[in-house]
Amino acid sequence: MAQEHNLAIFRGTIKFKNNVQKIWGVLIFLSIVTTIEVILGIIKPDFLVYTNFLHMKLLNWIFIFLTIVKAYYITWDFMHMRDEKGSLKKAVVWTSVFLILYLTALLLIEGNYIHDVYQDGFVKWDF
Amino acid sequence: MDTTVTNATTGKVWGGGTQPMGASYGKLMIWFFILSDALTFSGFLVSYGFSRFKFLDIWPIADEVFTHVPFFHGNFPMYYVAFMTFILIMSSVTMVLAVDAGHHMKQSKVAMYMFLTVIGGGIFVGSQAWEWGTFIKGSYGAVETRGGRILQFVDAETGHQVALADFATHFETDRVQHEAKNGIWFESESAGTTYRLEEVIAGVQSHENILVRTETINSEGKKTILDRSESLDILNQAVGVVEGANLIHNEYGHRLFADFFFFITGFHGFHVFSGVMINLIIFFNVLLGTYEKRGHYEMVEKVGLYWHFVDLVWVFVFTFFYLV
C-alpha cells in the first residue's frame, strides 16, 4: 500500500502535516468551489451571461472550468491519484480526456448542425 | 536458454511479484473499470449535449424546473441540489478517512467511517427519489400542441407561472375512465389529467390576466410570453393537458429533457445505490475482522475508489444538468 502520501496541494503552496488534515483541507476547497458555483448559478451575473466566448456564455465556461477543478482534486486527493505512479496517471487520465474530448467535439458540432438545419433549412418540425 | 537474459533488472522484473504501474491487480482493475464507466457516463452526458444543442432555443431552463425544497413552499432554485452535492462530497470525505484509518489498521475507526459513508449515500439516494417524485408529479401543469410543444400559463402582472388549478373552469361531465373490467379485457385507459383541455381553454378565456408562455427562449435568455390575443390563438393548436413529467410528456418543456433527466440521474442513482450496497458489505466485513485477518484494508481502498468515482460523476451531472 502507498503508505507515504504526497501532502502538498496547489503545486506545493499548501503543505499539510498529515493525510487526514489534507483530506479536510481538500474538502474545504471543494466546498468553496461548489458554493461559488451555486451562488453564480442563482445570481447569474449579467456580464457573465451576456458575454459570449467560443459560442458559449462565459458563465458556462466558468462552470465547466470549476467542475474540472473539482474533478481534479477528487481524483488526485480523494482517489489518491497523486500518490500513484506516472504511468497509471497517464493510462487513466490521457485515455479518458482524449476520448471524451473527441466524443464531445463530434456530437456538439453535429447537434449544432441539426439545429441550423431546423432553423434555416426546409424541414418544418414545429407544426 | 539461460544465456539469453543477462540483465539483472530484467531478471527481477520477470521473477514474479512485480506489480505493473506499481498498483495491485485489484486496484488496477478498478481503475480500468472506472475509466470505462466514465466513458459510459460521458456518452450519456454528451448525448444530452447533442440534444440540447439541437433544440438550443427551446430547451427548458433548469432553474425553472428544479425549484423545490422538501418541507418548504416557494421558489428555491438549486438549493436542494447543492445540498445533495454537499452530502455526496461529505460521504466521499468519510470514505477517504476510512481508507486512511485502514492504512493505520484501526478497525473500529474504519467501521465508523464506513457506516457514515453508507448513511451519506442513503441520504443522497433518498433525496434523488424525492427529486424524481417532485418532477414526475409536476408543479403547474401545461398543455401540449400537435407539434409536441409545451404551452405554460403565466400571470400577466407578475410573470410567474400559474397552476392549472388556479384558473381552469370546471365542467360537469359523465365521461368515466374506461377500465378493462368494463369491456374487452385488453382495453383500458389511464386515469387522465385532473383538468381536461376544454376546461383549461375555457379558463384562459374567462381569466383576462392569464397569458401563454412558449418554449422559445428570447434574446434575453427567457421564455417568450405571448400577448393576450396570441395566447388565445395558439391554444387552438393544443391537443392535450400535461401534468408532471414522464418519458412521453413533460410539462416543463421538451420531452427529451425529461428523458435525459430520468436516464442520467437514474443511471447515476443506480450507481449510488449499488455503491451503498457494496459499502454495506465492506462495512460488515470490517466488523467481522476480515481485513484485520488479511493484514491489510486494500478492499476498503478499492471500494473507496468506486465511491469517489460516483461522487466525481455527480460533479459533472450537477454542472451539466443544473448549472449550465
Q: Could you report the per-residue pLDDT of B169-218, keeping only the tens digit for each? A: 888 877 777 788 887 877 777 777 888 898 999 999 999 999 999 999 98
pLDDT at B186: 79
Q: Cα separation of B136 and A104, whole Å?
A: 29
Classify residue B169 by its DSSP letter: P
Name every chain A residue with its beta carbon within 8 A of the beta carbon of B46: 100, 103-104, 107-108
Q: Do the beta carbons of residue B121 and residue A51 sit within 8 Å? A: no
pLDDT at B266: 96
Report the run of H or E that residue B142 belongs to, with start and end. Answer: strand B142-145
**Bridge-based pairing state of the strands B210-217 and B223-225:** antiparallel
Nearest residue in chain A measured CA to CA from B316: A67
B266 vs B65, residue with greater confidence: B266
Q: Could you report the per-residue pLDDT of A83-124, keeping only the tens digit for each? A: 899 999 999 999 999 999 999 999 999 999 999 888 888 766
Name every chain A residue with its beta carbon within 8 A of the beta carbon of B85: 34
Interface probe for B, chosen from A52, A67, A73 (most Cβ of B below 10 Å), is A67
* Partner residue facing B53 (CB), from A49, A70, A111: A111
Average pLDDT, integer, range B79-90 = 92
Question: What is this model's ipTM?
Answer: 0.90
pLDDT at B12: 66
Instruction: Please give the mean pLDDT across all residues of chain A.
Output: 88
Q: Cα separation of B216 and B218, whole Å?
A: 6
Cβ of A74 and B92 within 8 Å?
A: yes
Given a cut of 50, whether residue B161 has pLDDT beyond it is yes
Q: Do the beta carbons of residue B210 and residue B162 sit within 8 Å? A: yes
Q: Do the beta carbons of residue B252 and residue B259 sit within 8 Å? A: no
Contacts of B288 (CB under 8 A, 6+ apart): none
Report the run of H or E that residue A26 belongs to, with start and end. Answer: helix A19-43
B210 in helix, strand or coil? strand
How far A33 CA sits from the closest chain B CA (Å)?
11
Contacts of B141 (CB under 8 A, 6+ apart): B163, B164, B165, B193, B194, B195, B200, B241, B242, B243, B251
Cβ of B319 and A126 within 8 Å?
A: no
| Angle, CA B90 vertex, CA B121 and CA B110 arms, to 5° | 75
CA distance from start to end of chain A: 63
**Bridge-based pairing state of the strands A8-9 and A14-15:** antiparallel
Among candidates A40, A31, A66, A68, which has minimal Cα distance to B83? A31
Neighbours of A75 (CB within 10 A): 21
How far A6 CA sits from the closest chain B CA (Å)?
13
The residues that bridge with B143 in the sheet, in sequence order, are: B151, B241
Give residue A3's pLDDT band: very low, low, confident or very high (50, 70, 90).
low
Q: Do the beta carbons of residue B144 and residue B249 sit within 8 Å? A: yes
| Angle, CA B97 vertex, CA B95 and CA B267 arms, to 5° | 15
